A = this chain, B = another copy of it.
Amino acid sequence: MVDKIYNFGAGPAMLPEPVMQQIQKEWLDFEGMGVSIIEISHRAKEFVAVLDEAQSLFRELTGLPDNYRVLFVHGGARMQFSALPLNFAGRVPSRKCLYVESGNFAGLAAKEAKTFCDMEIIASSAEADYNCIPELDSGQIDQDAAYLHITSNNTLYGTRWNQFPETGKVPLIADMTSELLSRQIDYNKFGVVYAGLQKNLGPSGMAMVIVRDDLLGYAEKKTPTLLNYTQCDKDNSLTNTTNTFAVYVIKLVLEWLKGQGGIAAIEQLNEQKSARLYKVIDGSDFYRSIAQPKHRSIMNVSFKLAIEGLDVKFLEEANDVGLYALKGHRNVGGVRASIYNPMPLAGVEKLASFMEEFECKNG
């Protein structure tokens, strides 16, 4: 028996312990109503208060400018891969939408867009097996395009954009699924930021979409109503019954984050956590980083063991001591430690020590 499990799963991922405990505590009786939060109408004043509070906490923590809208939508980030061209391609006569292919999900987003617009991949790191963020010259960006799409953090490979591209008048759209709220972001640089919840924000099945208000109003006629951001904004995310459980959890996660000192504080901790792991990796030939150092993520630390086949033993023994779900994605192999906001420093310390000991015994 292990005293304490640390869950390094890439998503659906661990949530903050105090959040999980609060959910359990008030599960049968939300705010004295005698029923659960998941058993009340999405139009009940008690639920609408939760939704409003989630939106305003998000605004407060991120310092979101007033001209951005905060939407809760169904289906995770993947559903937005379709919604983005349906909502925004019509902004320009060419219907041209630009994509940067920096990994698996970036590629899937581009592929899905192709169905609905004139999609063009203007940069890719496929030839480098996605171990870096592609070079992108601002001159490459067609100023008549509807938008430029990037994936700001690439979960599988553990890479991220440190500096966001200058896109001129072309709105920059970023899938931030695996890093939203993990570092300070200047939202003014973006037209749209979106994220599936299940990594840094809450349970699976829903996404948040942050959209600059001048980009609304261009949805295709043939857009499914629930993929239409303009409609969603008009209805304050309640066009139909929203995923009430997910909205409730987001609100608790945002409250927790505020209690941790906000995004600046959590970013510092995330830097510290990832640095601890990269130090072990860089300090030996036993472990090999997948991402190039200049583009390393502070959310997903992906690496391989130099000795082929030894990762099976590594993962087994890690699991035995309570280090859970470290297996790399099937497209990449090796090991991946997802260390989202909720992962405490103690979990990272335990993993780092385990890595050092494992090297001693097997190196």
6 more CB-based (< 8 A) A-B contacts, given A79-B224, A112-B224, A203-B243: A12-B41, A20-B28, A27-B27, A76-B240, A78-B225, A79-B226
Interface centre among A12, A20, A78, A322 (most CB of B within 10 A): A12
Residues on B with C-beta less than 8 A from A13 are 39
Residues in B neighbouring A24, C-beta threshold 8 A: 24, 27-28
Q: How far is the CA of A76 from the CA of B33 in the complex (A)?
A: 25
Specify which chain B residues have a CB less than 8 angstroms from the CB of A76 in the assembled complex.
74, 240-241
The interface of chain A, by Cβ under 8 A from chain B, is 2, 4-5, 7, 9-15, 20-21, 23-24, 27-28, 33-36, 38-42, 44, 74-79, 81-83, 86, 112, 115-116, 196, 198, 203-206, 221-222, 224-227, 239-246, 322, 324-325
- Residues in B with CB closer than 8 Å to A38 are 12, 15, 203-204
Report the bound CA distance from A206 to B205 in whole Å: 8
CB distance from A147 to the nearest CB of B (A): 18
CA distance A221 to B114 in the complex (A): 11
Given the contacts A204-B244, A205-B206, A2 and B41 also touching, CB distance less than 8 Å: no
- Chain B's nearest CB lies how many Å from the CB of A208? 14
Q: Which of A11, A86, A205 has the most chain B CB atoms inside 10 A of its CB?
A: A205
CB-based contact A225/B82 at 8 Å: yes
Q: Are the CB atoms of B196 and A241 closer together than 8 Å?
A: yes
In the complex, the 10 A-B pairs of residues with the closest C-beta atoms, listed nearest first: A205-B243, A82-B224, A5-B34, A74-B75, A78-B240, A24-B27, A204-B241, A38-B203, A14-B39, A7-B35
Chain A binding surface, main DSSP class: loop
Residue in B5, B224, B245, B322 whose CB lies within 8 Å of A224: B224
Do the beta carbons of B40 and A244 come within 8 Å of each other? no
Question: Given that A41-B325, A241-B205, A245-B205 are contacting pairs, would A115 and B10 also be in contact in the complex, using a CB cutoff of 8 Å?
Answer: no
CB distance from A287 to the nearest CB of B (A): 23
How far is B206's CA from A198's CA once the two chains are assembled, in angstroms?
15
Among B7, B77, B243, the residue within 8 A (CB) of A39 is B7
Given contacts A11-B41, A40-B9, A241-B76, contact A246 B33 (CB under 8 A): no
B11 and A241 contact, CB distance less than 8 A? yes
Q: Is A78 in contact with B226, judged by CB distance below 8 angstroms? A: yes
A358 to B222 Cα, complex, angstroms: 51
Q: Are B325's CB and A205's CB within 8 A?
A: no
Residues of chain B within 8 A of A325, CB atoms compared: 40-41, 44
Q: How far is the CB of A143 from chain B (nearest CB, A)?
A: 27
Cβ distance A320 to chain B, nearest Cβ, rounded Å: 12
CB within 8 Å for A226 and B40 given contacts A11-B241, A322-B34: no
Contacts of A116 in B (CB 8 A): 222
